Structure 1
Amino acid sequence: MELDFEALLNEKPYLQDIRKIDLFKYELIYSLRNGRDIPLIIYFDKFFPSRLPIISINEKLSPIPKIPHVLKSGGVCYIDTEGVIWNQNPQITLDFVFERVERVLLSTPHTIEYHREFSYYFGTQTEKKWAIANYEIQTDLDEVNVWTIKNRPVAFLGKNKKFNVVIEKFFNAKVSTQNLGKATFISLDKIYSGDVPQYDKNWSYQEIIKIVKENISSQKLDKLKILIANKKDYYYLLQLPLLTGNKVVIGLWYQKTDLSFKQKTNPIIDETVSDKFKVTPIEIYQINDDTLVQRGGGVKKNPNILLVGCGAVGSDLLFLLVRSGLKNFTLIDKDYLGMANSYRHFLGMNKAIKLKPKVQLLKEEMETRYPNLNVISVEKEVLEVIDEGEINLNEYDLIIVAVGDPNIERKLNELIYKTSTPTIFTWVEAYGIGGHALLVNNGDNGCYECLIDNDLQIKSSFASRSDKPYIQNINGCAGSFTPYGSVDSMETALIASRLILRFLNGDIEGNPLVSWKGSANEFRSHGFKTSKRYDEPSEKLAEPNYDYIETQCPICKDKVVVSTS
């Protein structure tokens, strides 16, 4: 049933002079509780009330007030819908909308409210450009590189060539010295308390000079006076401390309009040359770790991680960790990615058809998606790599083992306990009945060997002892595989990644085991039985478990810590 929007509006006593413009657009007068009448335009969505209407002040009948959350166009930003649930009754929802609109229209125009949304307002400027920034500033008045494409600035870079590498991966283009210029980074010393530019209102040439001169020290100003040149283009990064306590970086591009002008100058502080330049604002997108990780909710540490095993669980786990902000990885796996396993592998069929090693394909894929990664790939069996001295386990901050082979895992556990490197073992069980992640070498007792009982069974297993193998094969021995699905590998990677992040954030003690369990229907349909541990509640299995620890374990009871110094 279609809504009659006009009838809906007419039922509200705070709305008058309602006039239909088209199917979803109406002009009206909104009477605020303080007696003021505000002419508005409402644009309904055809999926209202699931989607809220757009509200704007009718600029033909009223000037646009200079208050927070009202745009130069008259648009009223009355709600951030993220995480907000509203009533699906149209009548109630419309009251909710106008109550929020009224809050905005009656708000006091404090500058701090604009500062809270500084980046948004700055980005609405009609003449602005955008650029990526990747640098490390050493002082509050510094020089950085600026890379241009077709005479337009696209990236501000640190002087070290490592910053070029990231940008080159990002744009899939070479940063050449021919297109590399210089930009001046200026950090204001005082808190900026002025207006925020938006839409067609940028700071004027003179306003920028005033902002810089009034908010930096005399010593910094003297240094700027020395930095004069005769160039066609001048670039600046301006860091402003805001009233909110945050800092924001904006870009400014000064283009010489009078090419006959040859005088050396620094236009950001020189009032006498204002008629010689056009100033273009640049919206800056920071791609440094602090900015991206904060938004992504990850970790700010930068550990060196060794990932052993890049199959279904290992590849999913790598993707999760990269998205959490971790960026230094060494990958070890001797296998090629085959079509038979492509459905449950992160890389998929289009990569499997290339017939390349898993580690090489993962390195290429991850560094393409996330150019700031540093991935080393080793296409060999892990025990050989260690035995031949190609890697030193002590050089890593964390080792992750996702090989799914208990015999290899036992040997790795033994070798790891001769080092000081914490390690997480993770594996998935047949038919997706569950998965596990175990932290070891994190002080105290508890290691992978503790899981192995006298009958050579894994104590944490959800599968009961069976003389019948869990593996299946399609084309004889060469086609043998452990049956489980991509969801099972992802679930296992998920609990392992949470354990890893808790460890890196210092939020875990000792050497716990965590598990998840899935349905056992298919497992049992093949004649297998589940263990007593499978019957435990899922909530208990997900909690850190230390009951598996054997105090007389031959591997971890007398742990020898090898110094890395």
Structure 2
Amino acid sequence: MTINLEDVKAELDEIDQNLISSFNILSGVDSEKYSGCINLAEIGIEICGKPAILTVGFPKNFPNEIPKFYDSNNLFGDIPHKLANGFLCFTRNESLLIDERYPASILLNCLEKVIKLIEDGVKGENKEDYVKEFEVYWPSILTIYAHIDTTVLTVRELNLWNMKVDKKHLLVAAEKVGLLDDTINNIFGLDVGKATKYRCIYLPLNEGAFILPPVNKKWSFADLKGNIFSNLSEESKKEFNRIVNRPVKGVHPIFEYVIVGLANSNGSVSLFGCGIDGNIINLKSLKKKGKVKKQIHPFVIKPKEANLYPATIKRWHPEYIINRTGGNRNLKDKHILIAGLGSVGSEVAMRFAKAGVKKLTLVDFDYMAFENVHRHALGIDQVFLATDEIFLERPKVWGLKAEINRKYPFTEVEVHLKSIFTIMDEVNISKNDIDLIVIAIGSPNSEMRINKKLLGLPDPPPTIYTWVEPLGIGGHTLVTLNGEKEGCYQCLFKTNEELPIYNRSAFAQPGQDFSKSITGCGSVFTPYNFLDSERSAMLTVETGIKVLIGKLNGNPLLSWKGEDSLFKEYGYKTTIRYTFSSEALNERKYSYKRNDCSVCSNEGVDMHRQ
């Protein structure tokens, strides 16, 4: 429904308000200048005690969509958050709740924000916002996808490749560290061996540098050079000169790129780039008779045609991506070993990669199978490794490495198609090399053996055991070796001479057979679905992150409870522990510990180290 502005005007007349002194409805809308608006009005307001006029644009969906405000007569000059067409960017839509019943009130609430924005700009109180919003103001005809670590504050040369794709130029820049060729091919489909290479220099400006962006006029070559070099330290200028005086090989000779880093007071860095016509100059050579051609940077000698090609910078460095997309920067140096890559372990691996850990070591000797597909992180395309030359069943570790490399290429993945016991015999396991171990084997006997081995080491990493119970009844995550020895996997299995040992954390009563088979003994499995494994994985990763960043104390046993309707339908019985509420389970998360544990008590630890 399109609202009638006469109704808005009438409502304003009825409201006791003093923001709008006049409301004149305009005829005709310049759709290019007032994009997305179907009606316009000029309103009289006061700015810093003086009368002023604003243009208000009303979108088709107003009042379900907020109005737009314009300084169409340029009364306030250049101020932050004002674009070249006079548009005043005063809010993000998601930060404002709209009550469509009162259109005039919506207009007034928005106008309050606009007046404050203008007055702050006129008084110069928000000029720092120019720096924070610099990228918005920077005009661009090119886009550079840049892998730049803005935490490194040195002038340096980057690799930059250009390839024409579908009549457009694909420009990719990257730090000259590590092997990124495969990553670039994976992300952009760009073969750097076939692309044209250019010289590109990253110039981080001095901390506190203030530059007015080109709001209503384009920068000249002199503007660009002056704004950069007036805000570089002497050491940065010397490093720039060292770079441009080095011999240049293998790059396009008559075009240069620069990317500039402008630090903000909030700790972030605005980036803007530019392509510049370059120089090839004939110089006399003493060693070689005649003349030699030398590539001279345009900031050293201005070319006759010093055309500028402003570029938007779109970042793909992990430091930026992780921070921007909700990852945890505290994980960027962490190394996690995951043993067991079934339905739970595979999801744990994918989620830790998504969280931004530096390295994953994956250990499993099993192969992907059709039967795994609907509760595993890998899909049916990872069951086989098939080419014209080979056809193999794919090991789970290979499939997960490929999937993580494809989705999260900045996480290093090391794989071992072996048993975890073999790895424990071959590799020195300590906190110096591994920050966290996750055991997702789902075999109590094997996990008790692993627990004993780890408790016997001089400096074992924190270790988490995770498993799922049948038919959606629940799952568990046990933290061990997190700053203390007391509380381990063996503590869950209290010996009783009258009864067989059983897992005291279980929600299912012991002695029940949950295994199912579809085609005989070769197809035996425990019934649970992907929701159960994913829920356990999420609990494990959330807990693991807390351990890694020091936000979790001791060695708790954490459990999630599912519905028991299907469980009971099959005639199975639950334990008393299942009757506890989630709050009660959390309160008892340390009560599983045993002072007489044969493994983690002081006596037990000493015995296993002998």
TM-score (norm 1): 0.87
Letter matched to residue 215 of structure 1 = N
Of 233, 240, 243, which aligns to 2:262? Answer: 240
* Structure 2 equivalent of residue 204 of structure 1: 220
The DSSP-based 3-state class of the residue aligned with 2:12 is coil
Distance 1:364 1:253 in 2: 36
Q: Which stretch has the larger CA shift, 324-333 or 23-32?
A: 23-32
Contact 2:198 2:256 in 1 (8 A): no
* Structure 1 equivalent of residue 390 of structure 2: none
- CA separation of 1:402/1:299 partners in 2, compared to 1, >3 Å: closer, same or farther? farther
Letter matched to residue 314 of structure 2 = Y
- CA separation of 1:177/1:259 partners in 2, compared to 1, >3 Å: closer, same or farther? farther
Q: Deviations 1:298-338 (Å, cap 9, x if unpaired)?
A: 14342221111112211222222112111311112233333
Distance 1:353 1:542 in 2: 42
Distance 1:106 1:260 in 2: 56
Q: Would you say 1:513 and 2:540 are equivalent positions?
A: no
Distance 2:415 2:565 in 1: 39
Q: Which stretch has the larger CA shift, 201-210 or 212-221?
A: 212-221
Q: Which stretch has the larger CA shift, 547-556 or 300-309?
A: 300-309
Q: Would you say 1:12 and 2:12 are equivalent positions?
A: yes
Q: Deviations 1:78-102 (Å, cap 9, x if unpaired)?
A: 2123455443534343443333333
Contact 1:293 1:299 in 2 (8 A): yes
Q: Which stretch has the larger CA shift, 200-209 or 320-329?
A: 200-209
Q: What pairs up with 1:79-94 in 2 under 5 angstroms? A: 79-82=91-94, 84-91=96-103, 92-94=105-107
Distance 1:225 1:29 in 2: 54
* Structure 2 equivalent of residue 327 of structure 1: 358
Distance 2:355 2:101 in 1: 39
* Structure 2 equivalent of residue 405 of structure 1: 443
Distance 2:199 2:549 in 1: 38
The DSSP-based 3-state class of the residue aligned with 2:446 is helix
Distance 1:331 1:6 in 2: 64
Distance 1:166 1:560 in 2: 48
Q: What pairs up with 1:519-534 in 2 under 5 angstroms? A: 519-534=563-578
Contact 1:202 1:281 in 2 (8 A): no
Of 506, 518, 526, which aligns to 1:461? Answer: 506
Of 188, 191, 198, which aligns to 2:205? Answer: 188
* Structure 2 equivalent of residue 316 of structure 1: 347
Distance 2:300 2:94 in 1: 42
Q: What pairs up with 1:161-560 in 2 under 5 angstroms? A: 161-176=178-193, 179-189=196-206, 191-197=208-214, 201-218=217-234, 220-222=236-238, 224-225=240-241, 227-228=244-245, 231-244=253-266, 246-256=268-278, 265-268=296-299, 270=301, 273=302, 275-295=304-324, 296-301=326-331, 302-352=333-383, 355-387=393-425, 389=426, 391-394=427-430, 395-419=433-457, 420-442=460-482, 443-454=484-495, 455-465=500-510, 467-542=511-586, 545-558=589-602, 559=605
Q: Deviations 1:138-176 (Å, cap 9, x if unpaired)?
A: 772333322232495723333334244433432344333
Distance 2:173 2:607 in 1: 45
- CA separation of 1:183/1:546 partners in 2, compared to 1, >3 Å: closer, same or farther? same
Distance 1:494 1:427 in 2: 12
Residue 62 of structure 1, CA deviation: 5.3
- CA separation of 1:73/1:541 partners in 2, compared to 1, >3 Å: closer, same or farther? farther
Contact 2:278 2:296 in 1 (8 A): no
Q: Deviations 1:16-62 (Å, cap 9, x if unpaired)?
A: 2224658961010122244634342424243x555x23514274x55
Q: Deviations 1:99-143 (Å, cap 9, x if unpaired)?
A: 333333333243202222223333xx2424222224698772333
The DSSP-based 3-state class of the residue aligned with 1:254 is strand
- CA separation of 1:337/1:542 partners in 2, compared to 1, >3 Å: closer, same or farther? farther
Distance 1:526 1:344 in 2: 21
The DSSP-based 3-state class of the residue aligned with 2:117 is helix
Letter matched to residue 163 of structure 2 = I
Letter matched to residue 504 of structure 1 = L
Contact 1:42 1:53 in 2 (8 A): no
Gaps of 5+ in 1: none
The DSSP-based 3-state class of the residue aligned with 2:375 is coil
- CA separation of 1:194/1:100 partners in 2, compared to 1, >3 Å: closer, same or farther? same
Contact 1:112 1:244 in 2 (8 A): no
* Structure 2 equivalent of residue 129 of structure 1: 143
Distance 2:177 2:240 in 1: 23
Contact 1:111 1:194 in 2 (8 A): no
- CA separation of 1:85/1:452 partners in 2, compared to 1, >3 Å: closer, same or farther? farther
- CA separation of 1:178/1:525 partners in 2, compared to 1, >3 Å: closer, same or farther? closer
- CA separation of 1:385/1:220 partners in 2, compared to 1, >3 Å: closer, same or farther? closer
- CA separation of 1:84/1:331 partners in 2, compared to 1, >3 Å: closer, same or farther? farther
Q: Would you say 1:44 and 2:59 are equivalent positions?
A: yes
Residue 428 of structure 1, CA deviation: 1.3
- CA separation of 1:458/1:89 partners in 2, compared to 1, >3 Å: closer, same or farther? farther
Residue 249 of structure 1, CA deviation: 3.6
RMSD of equivalent CA atoms: 3.3
Q: Deviations 1:215-235 (Å, cap 9, x if unpaired)?
A: 223454355456358930122
The DSSP-based 3-state class of the residue aligned with 1:438 is strand
Distance 1:114 1:410 in 2: 60
Distance 1:404 1:377 in 2: 20
The DSSP-based 3-state class of the residue aligned with 2:307 is strand
Q: Deviations 1:187-229 (Å, cap 9, x if unpaired)?
A: 323522121235x744321112211332223454355456358
* Structure 2 equivalent of residue 98 of structure 1: 111
Of 151, 157, 160, which aligns to 1:146? Answer: 160
- CA separation of 1:499/1:266 partners in 2, compared to 1, >3 Å: closer, same or farther? same
The DSSP-based 3-state class of the residue aligned with 1:211 is helix
Contact 2:475 2:536 in 1 (8 A): yes
The DSSP-based 3-state class of the residue aligned with 1:239 is strand
Contact 1:312 1:344 in 2 (8 A): yes
Distance 1:84 1:315 in 2: 40
The DSSP-based 3-state class of the residue aligned with 1:462 is coil
* Count of paired positions: 551
Contact 1:145 1:182 in 2 (8 A): yes
Q: Deviations 1:447-475 (Å, cap 9, x if unpaired)?
A: 1111112232111112223x331222222
Residue 9 of structure 1, CA deviation: 2.4
Distance 1:93 1:544 in 2: 51
Q: Deviations 1:265-321 (Å, cap 9, x if unpaired)?
A: 432355xx2642222233333433332222224143422211111122112222221
The DSSP-based 3-state class of the residue aligned with 1:472 is coil
Distance 2:585 2:241 in 1: 66
Residue 478 of structure 1, CA deviation: 2.4
Contact 2:370 2:380 in 1 (8 A): yes
Letter matched to residue 412 of structure 2 = N
Q: Which stretch has the larger CA shift, 436-445 or 220-229?
A: 220-229
Of 80, 88, 112, which aligns to 1:76? Answer: 88
Q: Deviations 1:456-504 (Å, cap 9, x if unpaired)?
A: 2111112223x33122222222222222222222211111111111111
Indicate the percent of aligned positions where both proteins have the same amino acid: 26
Contact 2:140 2:309 in 1 (8 A): no
Contact 2:71 2:88 in 1 (8 A): no
